[in-house]
């Protein structure tokens, strides 16, 4: 016990008179300090080169929290093969999978919104670019998933034609309409969110510009944001204002935000095209259904005409058979009558020809 106390007290007294950096490299009489296995010895100096201190703080504040939905864990769902849409179980399996995919798109939209918020409040260029790269990857995955959903809905719409005018066809169409509406709502929400952040990015750039150049006109700001070569003009203007350091910082901000705005505008165009494709699919579906209904109505009319012709043919056949039987019986009766007449006249019956007179003459001769 006394040995331990003496060692601790000696180290404490030496710490008061000896700098800690030199103390770590000296022998306190009991041998050099030993570091337990599995641990790393860190220096208390934050700026000492060659030693990493995980508990030190950087000059920049910590980055905003990452998106809460865990978008990095999302993966494109690999299907084993195309669903058998010709059967109702295969149709329902495909619909369940599509619902999950649409929900995943909705979660991705929330993650994109969180990354936009983090990029807007980023305090340094490195953070902003990191969030921008994450946005690019996530938007690419979301666009790929959106196209896959669109193609699968189109395939379902085409398969539903085989079940038109049936109870299964009505069930299939109602399920398809529900998924398509949910997908369109998600696309619309995604598009509205991108437009809102496009405006927020522009407002942030405008604030940064007016800090350095308060007299900048709205036209100049818009030209700077939308023009690819606007940074050169802006740099010259800011250098003339005598605020070189702020001008460089704002210039870097404008360049980064310009790329963000371009990506947002590209996403908005793609979403608009996707929305129009889905609307066109609905219109084509309506036109196809109308054509199918018209064709079915025409087929029904032709069947009715055919049934009437068949009825007439049946009646005509019955009448023909009746007439044939009548002719047969008439001919049969005529044959019987002719036979009787032939039999009567051919065998010299009494009263036929001169049989009566001949018999009388024969009787007189015998007498």
pLDDT bin (cut points 50, 70, 90) of residue 58 is: very low
Q: How far apart are CA 124 and CA 244, in angstroms?
A: 18
Of 175-189, 215-229, 343-357, give the lowest mean pLDDT range: 343-357
Looking up tokens 């309409």 gives 177
What percentage of the chain exceeds 90 in pLDDT? 20
Question: Per-residue pLDDT averaged across 88-110, rounded?
Answer: 93
Of 37-46, 59-68, 149-158, give the lowest mean pLDDT range: 37-46
Do 219 and 233 contact (CB within 8 A), yes or no? Answer: no
Which one has a higher pLDDT value, 208 or 236? 208
- Mean pLDDT highest for which of 139-153, 243-257, 264-278? 139-153
Confidence (pLDDT) at 72: 44
Helix and strand counts by DSSP (H, E) for the chain: 9, 0
Q: Is 29 helix (H, G, I), strand (E, B) or coil?
A: coil
pLDDT bin (cut points 50, 70, 90) of residue 279 is: confident
Contacts 24+ apart (CB under 8 A), 33-38: none
Q: Which has the closest alpha carbon to 113: 90, 139, 92?
A: 139
What percentage of the chain exceeds 70 in pLDDT? 62
Residue 224: pLDDT above 90?
no
Question: Per-residue pLDDT averaged across 123-142, rounded?
Answer: 89
> What's the gap between Cα 183 and its chain centre?
6
Confidence (pLDDT) at 277: 86
Q: pLDDT averaged over the chain?
A: 73
Which one has a higher pLDDT value, 135 or 351? 135
Of 238-242, 248-252, 259-263, give the lowest mean pLDDT range: 238-242
Spell 158-183 as b/e; 16+ CB within 10 A means b.
ebbeebbeeeeeeebbebbeebbebb
Provide the Cα torsion 200, 206, 210, 216; round to 10°.
Answer: -150
Distances (CA, A) of 254 to 74, 201, 214, 231, 264: 32, 10, 16, 8, 15
Structural domains of the chain, ranges and CATH numbers in brackets: 83-292 (1.20.58.70), 331-362 (no CATH)
Do 87 and 163 contact (CB within 8 A), yes or no? Answer: no
Confidence (pLDDT) at 33: 47
């Amino acid at each position: 016990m006394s040995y331990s106390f003496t060692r601790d007290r000696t180290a404490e007294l030496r710490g008061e008179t000896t700098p800690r950096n030199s103390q770590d490299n000296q022998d306190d009489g009991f041998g050099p300090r030993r570091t337990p296995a599995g641990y790393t010895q860190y220096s208390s100096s934050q700026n000492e080169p060659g030693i990493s201190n995980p508990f030190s703080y950087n000059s920049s504040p910590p980055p905003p929290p990452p998106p809460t939905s865990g978008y990095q864990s999302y993966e494109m769902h690999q299907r084993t093969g195309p669903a058998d849409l010709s059967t109702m179980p295969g149709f329902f399996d495909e619909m369940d999978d599509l619902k999950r995919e649409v929900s995943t798109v909705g979660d991705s939209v929330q993650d994109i919104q969180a990354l936009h918020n983090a990029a807007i409040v980023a305090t340094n260029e490195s953070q902003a670019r990191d969030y921008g790269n994450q946005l690019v990857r996530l938007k690419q995955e979301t666009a790929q998933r959106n196209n896959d959903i669109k193609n699968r809905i189109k395939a379902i719409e085409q398969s539903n034609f085989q079940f038109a005018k049936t109870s299964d066809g009505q069930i299939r169409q109602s399920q398809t309409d529900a998924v398509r509406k949910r997908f369109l709502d998600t696309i619309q929400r995604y598009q509205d969110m991108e437009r809102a952040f496009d405006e927020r990015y522009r407002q942030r750039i405008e604030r940064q510009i007016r800090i350095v150049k308060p007299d900048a006109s709205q036209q100049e700001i818009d030209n700077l944001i939308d023009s690819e070569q606007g940074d050169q003009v802006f740099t010259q203007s800011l250098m003339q204002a005598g605020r070189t350091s702020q001008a460089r910082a704002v210039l870097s901000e404008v360049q980064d935000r310009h790329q963000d705005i371009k990506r947002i505008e590209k996403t908005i165009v793609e979403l608009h095209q996707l929305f129009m494709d889905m609307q066109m699919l609905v219109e084509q579906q309506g036109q196809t259904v109308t054509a199918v209904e018209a064709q079915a109505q025409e087929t029904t009319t032709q069947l009715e005409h055919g049934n009437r012709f068949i009825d007439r043919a049946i009646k005509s056949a019955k009448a023909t058979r009746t007439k044939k039987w009548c002719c047969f019986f008439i001919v049969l009766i005529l044959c019987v009558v002719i036979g009787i007449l032939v039999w009567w006249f051919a065998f010299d019956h009494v009263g036929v020809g001169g049989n009566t007179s001949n018999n009388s003459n024969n009787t007189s001769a015998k007498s």
